[in-house]
Structure 1
Amino acid sequence: MKKVILITGASSGMGKETAKKLIKEGHTVYTVARRIEQMQDLKQSGGIPMHMDVTKEADIQRVVDVIIQKEGKIDVLWNNAGYGIYGSVEDIPLEDAIKQFDVNLFGLASITQKVVPYMRKAKSGTIINTSSMGGKMYFPLGAWYHASKHALEGFSDCLRLELKPFNINVVVLEPGLIATEFGSTVLSSLDKISKQSPYIDMMNKIAEGTRKSYETNNSSKPSVVSNTVSRIVNSKKPKTRYRFGKLAKPLVWMRIFLGDRLFDKIVTSQM
């Protein structure tokens, strides 16, 4: 069945790859991001790109209004926009931490609030929230990123129960290492921190591990995401969570079943 789909963070990586697949499947796909110039290929493929900053209420309202005016509904909202900053809690300015939450949680909540009334009225819809394996476990120097994803997990669980009476699905994605811009964003945030930081040795090891994971093809292709999202979109009763991509399942399993101290020991042994 052809559906009207809204995807945030669609200018690259998982969002763009999945948008292409959903367009090919015949769905009406609206793609939004700050970098609209990077979505022209989606337009040529049949998608409908629009500029939107998830931290700006006016942008969000405009996008939702346009889609409802043209289509009369939004069947699927994929909250995919997000990024990660890395650095010690001591080193990262609080305004950067606030921005992390503005994008990864509060912006997501804002667009969800604006879309839900239309889904509720239709008694149908699916909301997909991109969390991470980092929403279930953690690495040093990632406090604000992991905090935002842990918060998103709790937000999504509560939302799922609230919307169940209205036949609206809420699905959480927990990808592992995926070949996207995430690694370069992490490295960029570390580069901004003073080399005099007392955490410099830890920073160097995290940077080395990030390069190894993201710059040497040691991560899963975005197609694992597009295939998963396609299954969710085309399912009448999707699962509440989908965990996929390199290391996602084993690391989360270790976090859940090994306990804090043993998991801490495993993580620090890689440092």
Structure 2
Amino acid sequence: MTTKVALVTGASAGIGEATALKLKAQGYTVYAAARRVERMRSLAAAGVHVLSMDVTDDASMQTAMTRIIAEAGRIDVLVNNAGYGSYGAVEDVPLSEARAQFDVNVFGAVRLTQLALPHMRAQRSGTIVNITSMGGKIHTPLGAWYHGTKFALEAISDCLRMEVQPFGIDVVVIEPGGIKTEWADIAADKLRVISGKGAYAGQARAMAESMNGEASRKRQSPPQLIADTIAKAVSARRPRTRYAVGFGAKPMIFLRSLLSDRAFDGFMRMATGISRTALAGKP
């Protein structure tokens, strides 16, 4: 029986690291990719092959895929997990940062998918796993560019699923809720820098606190939950097209389907602690 081969991006911490270890434990030959190779020493010690990869650098992605095929002869699972959250008011966020958000969260995932698909088509099997977010179905204040990338990846996944189904390839979307990773800290820090002063400062302070405050941290789910879900999906004979998992994911997506746009706006302002004073931009 041929050992299946998986590539996991964004594997230096959090969901990516947990997924690489989970798939390795299930018998996969696992390649873990990230920009910071030095942070993947524990993965290497566990028998995972670590790769230096920047998903905004086409050459590094091509080199990684070439190495995988040369060494393992195939690729069965691609987990597009690399990503980050760029928050800030639309008025404040430089377009250079907006483009960077799409380069990492969307175009990097799509380019790796393009590189993997010829090999999956040749073997008439494979699974593409795209990590989006409950944020690919809902919206939050000051998160336009982040949500834009996740909405985009959801749509791309749907179209891709229809295209590759005749070749025996599955496309699965994972929609995490609140997860205990570095994501919230990075997103909140960016938000404070970009919109922490000026007209949107009140909203920015409230939103940043809701993202990485103590109360939020206590409710977040462990990355292992997402890793277990990914392992379940890639092992299934007929995986679901979507898995919403982690704190708040299913309730929030369901609530969005029930409420009107303005009703959901009001709910999110309340849930994130953005008061009338914050809306007015006052301290």
Question: TM-score surpassing 0.5?
Answer: yes
1:206 equivalent in structure 2 = 207
Task: Report if aligned partners of 2:196, 2:205 keep a CA contact under 8 Å in 1.
Answer: no
Which residue of 2 is the match for residue 28 of structure 1?
Answer: 29
- The Cα shift of 1:195 comes to 4.1
Query: Which residue is 1:71 aligned to?
Result: 72
Contact 1:131-1:175 within 8 A present in 2 as well:
yes
Give CA-to-partner distance per residue, 1:170-219, whole Å, 9 cap, x none: 00000100001111111220232264320000001001111236863320
Taking the aligned partners of 1:213 and 1:104, their CA distance within structure 2 comes to: 27
Whether the 8 Å contact between 1:177 and 1:213 is mirrored in structure 2 is no
In 1: Cα distance, 2:60 partner to 2:270 partner: 45
Q: Deviation at 1:265?
A: 1.4
Q: Which amino acid in 2 is paired with 1:123?
A: R
Native 8 Å contact 1:174 1:242 kept in 2:
yes
Distance 1:115 1:214 in 2: 41
* Counterpart contact for 1:179–1:214, Cα < 8 Å: no
Percent identity over the alignment? 47
After TM superposition, the structure 1 stretch with the greater mean CA deviation from structure 2, 206-215 or 26-35, is 206-215
Distance 1:257 1:65 in 2: 46
1:263 aligns with 2:271: no
User: Is there any run of 5+ residues in structure 2 with no aligned partner, and where?
Assistant: 275-283
Answer yes or no: is the 8 Å Cα contact 1:7–1:30 preserved in 2.
yes
Deviates more, 1:235-244 or 1:256-265: 256-265
Aligned equivalent of 1:252: 253
Letter in 1 for 2:102: F
Residues 104, 148 of structure 1: 8 Å contact kept: yes
What is aligned with 1:47? 48
C-alpha distance in 2 between matches for 1:174 and 1:29: 22
Give, in whole Å, the separation in 2 of the partners of 1:181 and 1:36. 17
Q: Which residue is equivalent to 1:87?
A: 88
Distance in 1, matches of 2:67 and 2:156, equals 27
Amino acid in structure 2 at the alignment position of 1:234: S
- 1:133-212 aligned at under 5 Å gives the runs 133-193=134-194, 195-212=196-213
Aligned AA (1:264): D
1:230 corresponds in structure 2 to 231
Would you say 1:59 and 2:60 are equivalent positions? yes
Structure 2 residue matching 1:10: 3-state secondary structure? coil
RMSD: 1.3
Q: Equivalent residue of 1:5, what SS? A: strand
Deviations 1:95-146 (A, max 9, x none): 0000000000011111110110000111100000000000000101000000
How much has 1:82 moved relative to structure 2? Answer: 0.5
Query: What do the CA deviations read for 1:44-94 (whole angstroms, capped 9, x no partner)?
Result: 001000100001010000000000011111000000001101110011110
Q: Secondary structure at the match of 1:196?
A: coil
Q: Deviations over 1:142-174 (max 9, x none)?
A: 000000000000000000000011010000000
Q: Partners in 2 of 1:58 and 1:214 — Cα distance?
A: 42
8 Å Cα contact 1:74-1:119 kept in structure 2: yes
Match of 2:116 in 1: 115
Across the two proteins, how many residue pairs are aligned to each other? 271
Secondary structure of the residue aligned to 1:216 is helix
Aligned to 2:220: 219
Do 2:221 and 2:247's aligned partners in 1 also have CA atoms closer than 8 Å? yes
What is residue 239 of structure 1 aligned with on the other side? 240
Q: How far apart, in 2, do the equivalents of 1:261 and 1:46 lie?
A: 50
Matching residue's letter, 1:129? N
TM-score with structure 2 length normalisation? Answer: 0.93
Give the TM-score, by structure 1 length. 0.97
